[in-house]
Amino acid sequence: MSHPDVIVVGGGIGGLGAAYSLTRQGLGVRLLERAPAFGEVGAGIQLAPNCTRILDDYGLLDEAKSLGVVPDAMVMRDAVDGAELTRLDLRDLERRYGYPYLVIHRSDLHGLLLRACERAGVELITDARVDAYENTGGGARVTLASGATHEAGLVIAADGLHSAARKLLADDEPVSSAYVAYRGTVPAGSPRVSRVDLGEVAVYVGPGCHFVHYGLRGGKLLNQVAVFESPKALAGREDWGTPDELDAAFARTCDFVRDGLPFMWRDKWWRMFDRDPITTWVDDRIALLGDCAHPPLQYIAQGAIMAVEDGWVLGEHVARNRAADGSVDWSAALAAYQAVRPEHCRRVLTTSRTWGELWHLDGLAREQRNALLRARDTYDYAFTDWLYGPTALTPEQEPDMFTPIPLSSATGPGRRTAIDRTGDPTWRPKESSQCS
């Protein structure tokens, strides 16, 4: 085979997004997918303005909107009593950031990006499991399980949580959160859906669990997600996350939440893992992208978005470091990518962990959290400005984080900027959470 300019390993959302971004810059891209066919599992996915802005730049936003739902509000409720705690006006949020908040079926987003890559001329190869990566001096090579090799000027590893390429840069393993997710969709004609406002993204936060729902495919489906902490996982058992644990975890929640559990796909579940942040993603001509670099917990709905951002940022730096003859100064482009993305994604990973802890509080801490959330003004965007604005291309463009405040401030006057789960005003977290 002739050598492309770039090889992308992994045909998920991140890999397809990167392949399309670089093909737009006039590069020849070959994408290697280990499965026998392209596809995506799961159900709904949330795309905040920092992602829909990029889809618009790619010319794909209108198609995405036609496949998904642009909701009116995001509402957080207490899972025990069902009471509203806080909300975001997503139409006002669109005016603030210039782009909509969109919810879409994961397979629809994947298919949209796959079709874009096909139109752009990306070379798509399936049944190509990559077992090894190596730099060659002026380029990089991957070796497949079949023994075949592929070479290019750059190799992008978008090979997910259990990445083989990550081992070049970090000696670590995925970190179990002991939480598990169940998912399911309900047709719009079901009585269950008649009780739901499909213009809302709703999150019910409860002790050791939470429940999410929103509409998909133009309101034809209701997407539901139930997440809980597994006692079996905490006890070190292998058989954790089973349906009996699902039912037990939500026994204390309100009727509406419990009534949603029978609609879950109870024969499969997703154990929630992330990894500790790493600060180096580039090894000569091999670069990490997406979940292999920064797999987050799901609490601020940025996992796929970060992967899309990675590919867009890399494409922008290719454009800035390309000579008149079409050659790319890969050292400069990768240095610029390395300078900005790891720190942003570190913030998202650590914030996701902390926000998940806040969602799942019990006792007095739950009451304090609820009081602070109720006190928040609907149009206070201090919680989202650092995340939903334009994707930074340089470290100087990365916005400041907000200042956390202790849960104990719920008992007296306090600033409405963020929440510190410990209640200790002297404690300084790696990053705090955001209310979204």
Residue with tokens 């034809």: 220
Cα(156)–Cα(316) distance, integer angstroms:
15
Sequence-ordered strand ranges (E) for 217-348: 221-229, 270-274, 282-283, 286-288
DSSP character for 242? -
Cβ atoms of 49 and 100 closer than 8 Å: yes
Cβ atoms of 76 and 91 closer than 8 Å: no
Helix (H, G, I), strand (E, B) or coil at 381: coil
Structure tokens at 50: 């920092």
Residues recorded for the chain: 436
Tell me whether residue 214 is one of the annotated catalytic residues. yes
Instruction: Please report, as a single letter, which amino acid is at residue 387.
Output: L
Residue with tokens 């998912």: 183
Terminal C-alpha separation, the chain: 48
Among 214, 299, 337, 388, the active-site one is: 214
* The pairing of beta strand 154-157 with beta strand 6-9: parallel
Integer angstrom CA distances of residue 356 from 100, 297, 298, 342, 353: 24, 8, 8, 21, 5
Instruction: Please report, as a single letter, which amino acid is at residue 268.
Output: K
Q: Which residues are catalytic?
A: 214
